[in-house]
Amino acid sequence: MEILGVPVDLFLQSLVSGILMGGIFALFGVGFSMTWGVMRIINISYATFGVLAAYLALWLLTALGLDPILSLIFILPAFFLLGIFLHRFLLRYVVKSKTLEVANLILTFGMAIILENLMLLIWKPDARLITTPYSSKAFFIGEIVIPYPLVAGFCLATAGVLLIHFFLTRTHIGKAVRATWQEPEGSLLMGINPGRVSMLTFGLSMVFAGAGGVSMALIYSFYPSVHHSWLIFLFLIAITGGVGNIFGAAGAGLLIGLITGVTGAFLPFEWVNVLMFGLLVFVLLIRPYGIFNSVV
């Protein structure tokens, strides 16, 4: 039995793989969307820090034998502190700029270039791949093959999205973040410090950059300049899901993963990016604020 000339088993395999990949895209995109929504900062360097996290996970694996998922115990707190440091000494001055959009693009683009060249200096331009004892393992549901790395990345994504949703809706600090995004002037009247909210938001976004980068490295090879390709997906997720919308970013990540997985079964790989940008244009024309309402 076939669907549009493609065997059903292959179609179902592409569907499942697309959903699992979409979860990883969602995890990676949440922090990018949140920074854009709360701070009005489009962090061009976000994907570059994801690549850095992938290299750190690879280094911990080769040097200490630490599993990439377990290495997040060390990487994520370090990335949170790095985000606080960058906000304290760089980004807080940009936020005060009268030309915020231009200033933040120039600053974060510069950060991306500097970090990319540092990674080139340390790790060279060769493509790397994280290989673990379970990298080549999978389990089967009928004829459908489900690789362990995809499952690990999807579970990590699910946990990350649920935790940030709990933080934003059930804690006082999280509610302050939402208030700053939804009603900036009203939040000031309530005594919320926008500087501290911005600093916390950027720190959390770096946590998601680290988790997303390691998850991407479980399924894709990576190299210092791969952040350019990853950044395209981040823009698609943020715009399609609605800037600042956590579940919107998650839904957009799943949608993009599905499109990437399923179309790969019907069309040559070169057409996948064409369809991605077609989706972006369609959303901008029909729903310029994203498929979902633009709220955290």
pLDDT tier at 262, thresholds 50, 70, 90 = confident
- Bridge partner residues of 6 (DSSP): 3
For 209-223, give the DSSP string.
HHHHHHHHHHHS-B-
Tokens 């600042």: give the residue: 244
Separation CA 254–CA 50 (nearest Å): 19
Tokens 């996948």: give the residue: 272
Nearest alpha-carbon partner for 13 in 158, 140, 137, 148: 140
Q: What are 13-55's pLDDT values in tens digits?
A: 888 888 999 999 999 999 998 888 877 889 999 999 999 999 9
Structure tokens at 282: 């369609």
Measured between alpha carbons, how far is residue 286 from residues 170, 266, 273, 279 in Å? 33, 26, 20, 10
Tokens 């065997």: give the residue: 7
Highest mean pLDDT pick, 15-19, 77-81, 130-134, 195-199: 77-81
CB-CB contact of 45 with 109 (8 Å): yes
Beta-strand (E) ranges in the chain? 2-3, 6-7, 138-141, 144-147
* Residue 10 burial (C-beta neighbours within 10 Å; 0-12, 13-18, 19+): middle
CB-CB contact of 93 with 195 (8 Å): no
* Residue 40 burial (C-beta neighbours within 10 Å; 0-12, 13-18, 19+): middle
Structure tokens at 66: 């630490």
Separation CA 57–CA 100 (nearest Å): 34
For 15-53, give the DSSP string.
HHHHHHHHHHHHHHHHHHHHHHHHH----TTHHHHHHHH
SS3 content of the chain, % helix, strand, coil (to 5): 75, 5, 20
Separation CA 21–CA 12 (nearest Å): 14
Average pLDDT over residues 104-133: 93
CB-CB contact of 237 with 156 (8 Å): no
> Which residues 6+ apart lie within 8 Å of 265 measured at CB?
6, 10, 11, 13, 14
**Which of 65-69, 164-168, 284-288 bottoms out in mean pLDDT, i.e. has the lowest?**
284-288
Helices (H), 135-245: 148-170, 172-182, 184-189, 194-219, 227-241
pLDDT tier at 100, thresholds 50, 70, 90 = low
pTM listed for this prediction:
0.91
- Bridge partner residues of 138 (DSSP): 147
Does 128 score more than 80 pLDDT?
yes
Q: What are 214-257's pLDDT values in tens digits?
A: 999 998 999 999 999 899 889 888 888 888 788 888 888 888 88
Mean pLDDT, rounded, of the chain: 85
Q: Say whether 175 sits in a helix, a strand or coil.
A: helix
